[in-house]
Structure 1
Amino acid sequence: MTRRAVVVGLGHYLPERVVPNSEFEATLETSDEWIKSRSGIERRHFAAEGETTSDLATRAAEKALANAGLEANDLDAIVLATSTADLTFPSAATMVQHALGMTRGFAFDVQAVCAGFIYALSTANALILSGQAKRIMVIGAETFSKIMDWTDRGTCVLFGDGAGAVILEAQEGEGTAADRGILSVDLNSDGQHKDILFVDGGVSTQSTGFLRMQGKEVFRHAVEKLAQTATTAMEQAGIDSADVDWIVPHQANIRIIQGTAKKLGLSMDNVVVTVQDHGNTSAASIPLALSVGVERGQIKRGDVVVTEAIGGGLAWGAVVLRW
Structure 2
Amino acid sequence: MDYRKFLGKVESEVLPYFGGASVDAASRRLRVSTPPAPGWWRFDVQGRTATAREPAEPTGLDGLPLVRGHLWGTRLVREGAVAEPVQLLPEEEPPRFSPLRARRWHDGTLVFEGVDFEGEAEGTVRLMLEEGRTLVEVKAVPASLRAAFGYAVLEGAARALGLRFSAPEVRGQVLAVAEGGHAAAEAWLRALATERAAHVRAQPRVQPRALERQAQGAVWVERALEAAGARLLDTRRLGNGRLEVTFGFMGERFISIVEVGSLQVVDAGICLAGSDRQVTLESLPSVIREAIRNDVLVITRHA
Q: TM-score when scaled to structure 1?
A: 0.26
Structure having the higher Rg: 2
| Bigger relative contact order (CA 8 A; separation at least 6) | 1
Q: TM-score when scaled to structure 2?
A: 0.27
